[in-house]
Amino acid sequence: MTDFFDLDLSIFGESLSRGSGILDLMNDLGEAVSFRRDMLMLGGGNPAIIPEIQALWRESAKAFLADQTAFDKSLASYDPPQGDPSFLNAFAKMFCDRFDISINSNNIAVVSGAQLGAFCLLNLLGGKTSDGRRKKILIPASPEYVGYADMGVEPDMFVACPAKITYPDPNDSSTFKYAVDFDMVEQVVAKEDVGAILISRPTNPSGNVLTRDELTRLEEFAERIGAWFIIDNAYGGPFPGILEDPAEIDSIFWGKKTILSFSLSKIGLPGLRTGILVAPPEIIERVSAITAIVGLANNSIGQRITKPLFESGEILDACRSIVYPYYRKRRAEAVRLLRDSLRRAGVEAKLHKSEGAFFLWMWIPALKAGSTTLYQKLKEQRVFVIPGDNFFYGLDHVSESKMDPTFDSSRSQMLRISFSAPEDIVDKGFRIIAETIAKLLDSTKDNINKIGNV
């Protein structure tokens, strides 16, 4: 990347235009899609193309195009910065009717993608304040979504707690699960000025779903210290509903200090860049003000196409009857296929319990070369995945004596693999992944043996 520092940029300019994990990965993804059509795409966050869901969008778009007044207005007029009032009302009514939550349009804001919504929220609630304090964003269970890592305009805005590595079945060491270390959270909130606690649920990259008890305790932490609790539901309930537990699709966690983030991307509309925030009105007003300054208004097409489906509730019904069973079946098949491929290649690896999203989070304890090296090796084999290193940020505050050695070593041994691609690509990609790992581990052993014989 070009060295921008000779341009005499502002701190803001340097912060957002320098190299970052998400920039590198998105550049690699764009290059693979545009110039390497032979790549097996098992990285990135593109949802699966589900024919029944695509048909739903086409029918809704067809009705929208047939309504000349609505079509012309959408293309020729700006919405208010908060979003189209009729969409906001439809969304709020759907939530009230389905989940018995008392909100109205003042609790809803549309943003140009949930990624931008997160940027607004994190810089509203974290960073230097007018009285000189430096508020932190707390990640309670690292690893967490790499897309947050470089969002802070202020340096060192994130402080993360290493997740506890647990084994749901004591007799099965091949399946692990992350849990919140509340003792560590207690230590951090006692020492740091925390403006917000942030989680994705299901978690990107691991597919972890924090329990209801964990959510309640984190909300209590937020209330106690005067912080906010942000829950990113990009893959969760009630839409798109890419979860393992059906009960999670039909319930919403909502507290006094909760901010919920939703997206139309993972239900099949990533190109429309439409995110939705649900929060107390004072937060919504601030986010809308930011939208007015940096973008005037938001993309209106996503709101127009989905509004009738929110009004009727059809979008939620489709998630339960189509999206949920589709990904549940694909998840089970993906776990089986990957384990079979690893077994045939003679590779020992652990998988995080896949409770949601469309990723498998694989831990290779014998991987000494690091996940970035494996990532590069796989690119050479035309397989695109995501190395795990960049998902572990905000941990510099944890001293070596307090860091669990197993968690510490695991940070360079993780790989995020998507199973949303067509099944033949997933199957072929898994076999190449297993074979490449086996070769890399063998070459590492050979090098160690050579060094030992010198």
pLDDT, one tens digit per residue, over 350-392 is 999 999 999 999 999 999 999 999 999 999 999 999 999 999 9
Residue 18 in this model has a pLDDT that exceeds 80: no
- pLDDT at position 453 is 45
HSE-CB for 281 with a 13 A CA cutoff: 5
Would you give the DSSP letter of residue 319? I
- pLDDT at position 454 is 43
CA 36, CA 117: separation in Å to the nearest integer? 31
Q: Give the mean pLDDT of 439-452.
A: 66
CA 149, CA 361: separation in Å to the nearest integer? 19
Q: For the chain, what is the largest distance between any 2 Cα atoms, rounded to a whole number of angstroms?
A: 80
Q: For the whole prediction, is pTM greater than 0.75?
A: yes
Per DSSP, the three-state class of 49 is coil
CA 281, CA 276: separation in Å to the nearest integer? 14
- Find the Cα–Cα–Cα–Cα dihedral 146, 148, 150, 153, rounded to 10°: 180
CA 365, CA 163: separation in Å to the nearest integer? 17
- pLDDT at position 249 is 87
- pLDDT at position 342 is 98
Q: Does domain 10-50+324-448 have CATH number 3.40.640.10?
A: no
Confidence of residue 104 (pLDDT cuts 50, 70, 90): very high
Specify the CATH number for 63-318; select among 3.40.640.10, 3.40.630.30, 3.30.390.30, 3.40.50.1370: 3.40.640.10
Q: Give the mean pLDDT of 318-334.
A: 96
CA 146 to chain centre: 8
The domain segmentation of the chain, as residue ranges, is 10-50+324-448, 63-318
- pLDDT at position 253 is 93
Tokens linked to 88: 């906001």
178 contacts 108 by C-beta, under 8 angstroms = no
Residue 168 in this model has a pLDDT that exceeds 70: yes
Q: Give me the percent of the chain exceeding a pLDDT of 90.
A: 76
For β-strands 350-352 and 275-278, DSSP reports them as: unpaired
Would you give the DSSP letter of residue 388? S
Per DSSP, the three-state class of 232 is strand
- pLDDT at position 38 is 80
CA 168, CA 179: separation in Å to the nearest integer? 11
Strand-pair partners of 142:
162
- 212-225 vs 182-191: helix axis angle to the nearest 10? 10
Would you give the DSSP letter of residue 248? G
CA 308 to chain centre: 27
CA 110 to chain centre: 18
Per DSSP, the three-state class of 227 is coil
Residue 451 in this model has a pLDDT that exceeds 60: no
Chain segment 403-413, per-residue pLDDT in tens:
999 999 999 99
Amino acid letter, residue 259: I
Q: Give the mean pLDDT of 431-444.
A: 93
- pLDDT at position 220 is 95
Cis check: omega of the bond before 140, within 30 degrees of 0: no
CA 150, CA 62: separation in Å to the nearest integer? 39
Cis check: omega of the bond before 240, within 30 degrees of 0: yes
Q: Give the mean pLDDT of 108-129.
A: 94
CA 345, CA 141: separation in Å to the nearest integer? 32
Give, in order, the Cα–Cα distances in Å from 66 to each of 47, 312, 392: 28, 19, 48
Neighbours of 121 (CB within 10 A): 27
